């Protein structure tokens, strides 16, 4: 399955992702600039903040419990499509999902 990450400068990076893997894990393991994942995906920081592309928002779903609290600490602007990529698990339904990355995480 594929995820397309689009950096703030427009750089596009496509990565293959296994079912069940978080988008944060996929980004970190493929050295995608713009996702740090400082806490390793334990939802204790906001360094995996991302913006779900509008066309995919409904399929990805709403923020998980506690996610909005952490996003309040995000360095970059929080938008309606803001999510923590550690909380988005890859499924067949998300194959091809497009994720935009903020300008900064720290």
CA proximity to 2, closest of 24, 25, 26: 26
What fold does the segment set 2-100 form as a domain?
Ubiquitin-like (UB roll) (3.10.20)
Separation CA 27–CA 101 (nearest Å) = 11
Domain spans in the chain, listed from the N-terminal domain onward: 2-100
Average pLDDT over residues 14-25: 97
**pLDDT, tens digit, 9 for 90 and up, residues 59-75:** 999 998 899 999 998 99
Separation CA 23–CA 35 (nearest Å) = 9
Cβ of 29: how many Cβ atoms within 10 Å? 12
What is the model's pTM?
0.95
For residues 44 and 73, the answer to whether their CB atoms sit within 8 Å is no
CA proximity to 33, closest of 70, 3, 8: 8
pLDDT band at 86 (very low <50, low <70, confident <90, very high): very high
Backbone angles phi, psi at 85, to 5 degrees: -65, -20
SS3 28: helix
Tracing tokens 């996929």 back to the chain, one arrives at: 26
In the numeric block, which tokens belong to residue 58? Answer: 């409904």
Average pLDDT over residues 12-30: 97
**Structure confidence at residue 106 (pLDDT):** 78
């Amino acid at each position: 399955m594929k995820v397309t990450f689009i950096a703030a400068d427009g750089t596009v990076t496509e990565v293959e992702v296994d079912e069940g893997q978080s988008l944060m894990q996929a980004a970190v393991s493929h050295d995608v600039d713009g996702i740090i994942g400082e806490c390793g995906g334990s939802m204790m920081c906001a360094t995996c903040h991302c913006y779900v592309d509008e066309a995919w928002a409904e399929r990805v779903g709403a923020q998980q419990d506690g996610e909005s609290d952490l996003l309040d600490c995000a360095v970059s602007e929080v938008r309606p499509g803001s999510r923590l990529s550690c909380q988005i698990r890859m499924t067949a339904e998300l194959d091809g999902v497009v994720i935009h990355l903020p300008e900064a995480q720290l």
